[in-house]
Amino acid sequence: MKIVVVGGPGQLVLSMMERGPATGHQVIAVGPPDLDLAAPDDGAVYAALEAASPDVIVNAAAHTAVDNAESERDLAFAINAGGAGAVARAAAKLGVPLVHVSTDYVFDGRLDRPYVETDPTGPTNTYGASKLAGEEEVRAYADNSAILRVAWVYSPFGTNFVKTMLRLAGDRDEVSVVTDQIGNPTSALDIADGILSVVANLVADADPVLRGVFHMTAQGEASWADFAEAIFAASGAHGGGRTSVRRIMTADYPTPAPRPANSRLDCRHLATVHGVALPDWRGSLESVVARLQAGTDQSASLGLGT
């Protein structure tokens, strides 16, 4: 099976490139300059995807700079909404399944429990609003699709919270991290494994039950401060630096884009329908930190850089 992943060399694209061959599938990435969703054009998007001859398409392209999106609203909506629609229409025209990656930020974070797929949405920032608009585009134009909401993504690749904390561990005696935002830290490598399973289901079975919106995060929850402490503990266990965490409130660390206080996602629907359940975040974090401390980042061998 040929899986075409739309997006630049980000965490999920690189993770798909690494994990795909182990399942016996061919995974190729299509992104800028061949396919640029910053100015989405249906004809150009379709031509780029048709040339790739996909059996299935995974749209991992996104404007993910949450704070920057507040001042780059048009760009965020162009990529996350307009681009999603163009990819959805191309997938429908090509007659292939589409997996579209979305986010926990489509919710306002006010519930006192993990969100299920049918809970009302209500993004509190531009990034979340643009991703929700992208979901609506996919639902409108690609019936043969699965929308996967992920959260708190980290990996050995690119820029993410884990790599930032590891860098700070060597520079500071103390790091201030918010403690009143909770979610499910999730390895992009685990997400890639989950996507590969969902892709196989979509290709093998036309059952509409396999289509729709699903939540895909790691098991277990944490605050950002909990997450940071676990990162430093894993770093120390593997010969790296560690530092102490000073727990602060969101109000003590204002950002241009407000974050939801509760980003937890309930993933039971995915497990029931697709038979996919990602592992606990603590074990996956240990593996990623060990890999980073050992210097075994293989992104260069994937031909996409970081």
- Catalytic sites, residue numbers: 127
Residue ranges with strand state E in the chain: 2-6, 26-30, 56-59, 98-103, 145-150, 153-154, 174-178, 182-183, 186-187, 212-215, 222-223, 244-248
What are the beta bridge partners of residue 219? Answer: 280
Name the helix (H) or strand (E) containing 42: helix 42-52
CA distances from 150 to 45, 68, 101, 186, 249 (A): 24, 20, 7, 8, 24
Per the CB < 8 A criterion, the answer to whether 242 and 170 are in contact is: no
Query: For 90, what's the count of Cα atoms within 13 Å in the CB-facing half-sphere?
Result: 32
> Residue 65: which of 121, 2, 156, 130 has the closest Cα?
130
CA distances from 13 to 20, 33, 81, 286, 305 (A): 10, 15, 19, 21, 11
> Using the 8-state DSSP alphabet, how is residue 21 labeled?
G
What are the beta bridge partners of residue 145? Answer: 98
Residues found in the chain: 306
What Rg do the C-alpha atoms of the chain give, in angstroms? 19
